[in-house]
């Protein structure tokens, strides 16, 4: 899951990015509105955490432009605002933000809202994803197969979560790189292949079959039934 944090307070933006990365998200940061629009037009973000009060380009305008660019899966926008007047929030929601959070916020609340926004697309309720005999609890950061806990790194966890939010779909290496890794990942390394390989090994260790199969020439797929 790829997240863009747009916030002109560098100290806040960096802390949010650090916290979200630890939760297994691929996070990019933009420090003003122009940069945010540039990044959103190049990358396909699942969630944008957007400060409304930005230099150069106002947050509302950023939402408008992100919405105008939206093709396919819509980008979810969580607006962060230091203004608590109802009018500001109504404007933000009317212009296309999906949710809002008033500063200062509890970081756990931020991650819970990001998860909730991601669930809207997955069409599921609850923080626990379940595919076959694999269970993934994003709020507790735990993944199990057959009740046995999987010792996953944050990147493997994020990768498994992305597979589990799209069970049965063939996912290309490019798509995985786009949504699970941030802009610092080098697209020419085989980091996707290596991480998929280690994830598959850990899944195989915990069960008797391999749920992630390779679709030759196209990518990978998580089987819905084991």
Q: Which residues lie across from 78 on neighbouring strands?
A: 49, 99
- x/- letters, 21..50, toward other proteins (CB under 8 A): -x--------xx------------------
Among 71, 86, 106, 186, binds other proteins (CB under 8 A): 106
CB half-sphere exposure, 81, CA atoms < 13 A: 21
Q: Which is nearer to other proteins, 107 or 201 (CB)?
A: 107
Nearest alpha carbon to residue 111 among 139, 80, 72: 139
Query: Exactly one of 67, 103, 130, 202 binds other proteins (CB under 8 A); which one?
Result: 103
Whether 154 contacts 21, CB under 8 Å: yes
- Residues 109, 111: Cα–Cα separation, whole Å: 5
- Short-list 15, 83, 86, CA closest to 51: 83
Smallest separation (angstroms) from other proteins to the CB of 102: 8
Window of 6-14, 131-139, 154-162, 178-186 that interacts with other proteins by CB under 8 A: 6-14
Q: Which stretch in 107-115, 127-135, 153-161, 189-197 sits in contact with other proteins by CB under 8 A? A: 107-115
- Range 108-147, binding other proteins (CB under 8 A): 108, 110
CB atoms inside a 10 Å sphere around CB 71: 7
Closest distance of CB 138 from other proteins, Å? 14
> The tokens of 153 are what?
């790194």
Length of the chain: 226
Residue from 3, 16, 37, 118 in contact with other proteins (CB under 8 A): 16
Nearer residue to other proteins within complex by CB, 55 or 187: 55
Q: Establish if 10 lies at the interface with other proteins (CB under 8 A).
A: yes
Alpha-helical (H) ranges within 70-169 are 86-94, 107-122, 154-165
Torsion sign across C-alpha atoms 151, 157, 159, 163: positive
- How far does Cα 200 stand from its chain's mean position? 21
Interface positions, 58-87, toward other proteins (CB under 8 A): 80, 82-85
CA-only gyration radius of the chain, Å? 18
Of 43, 53, 191, 198, the one binding other proteins (CB under 8 A) is 53
Q: Is 174 in the site for other proteins (CB under 8 A)?
A: no
> Are residues 149 and 12 in contact, defined by beta-carbon separation less than 8 angstroms?
no
Please identify, among the stretches 61-69, 105-113, 166-174, 178-186, the one whose residues bind other proteins according to the rule CB under 8 A: 105-113
Q: Which residues bind other proteins (CB under 8 A)?
A: 8-12, 15-16, 18-19, 22, 31-32, 53, 55, 80, 82-85, 102-108, 110
């Amino acid at each position: 899951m790829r997240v863009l944090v747009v916030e002109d307070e560098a100290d806040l933006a960096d802390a949010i990015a650090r916290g979200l990365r630890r939760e297994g998200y691929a996070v990019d940061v933009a420090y003003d509105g122009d940069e945010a629009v540039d990044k959103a037009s190049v990358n396909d973000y699942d969630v944008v955490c957007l400060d409304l009060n930005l230099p150069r380009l106002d947050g509302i305008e950023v939402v408008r432009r992100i919405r105008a660019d939206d093709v396919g899966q819509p980008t979810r926008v969580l607006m962060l605002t230091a203004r608590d007047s109802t009018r500001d929030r109504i404007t933000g929601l009317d212009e296309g933000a999906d949710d809002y959070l008033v500063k200062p916020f509890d970081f756990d609340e931020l991650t819970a809202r990001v998860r909730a926004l991601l669930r809207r697309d997955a069409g599921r309720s609850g923080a626990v994803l379940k595919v076959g005999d694999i269970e993934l609890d994003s709020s507790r950061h735990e993944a199990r197969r057959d009740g046995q806990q999987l010792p996953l790194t944050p990147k493997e966890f994020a990768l498994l979560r992305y597979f589990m939010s799209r069970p049965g779909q063939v996912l290309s290496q490019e798509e995985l790189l786009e949504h699970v890794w941030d802009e610092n990942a080098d697209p020419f390394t085989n980091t996707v292949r290596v991480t998929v390989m280690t994830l598959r090994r850990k899944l195989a260790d915990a069960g008797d079959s391999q749920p992630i199969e390779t679709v030759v020439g196209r990518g990978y797929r998580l089987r819905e039934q084991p």
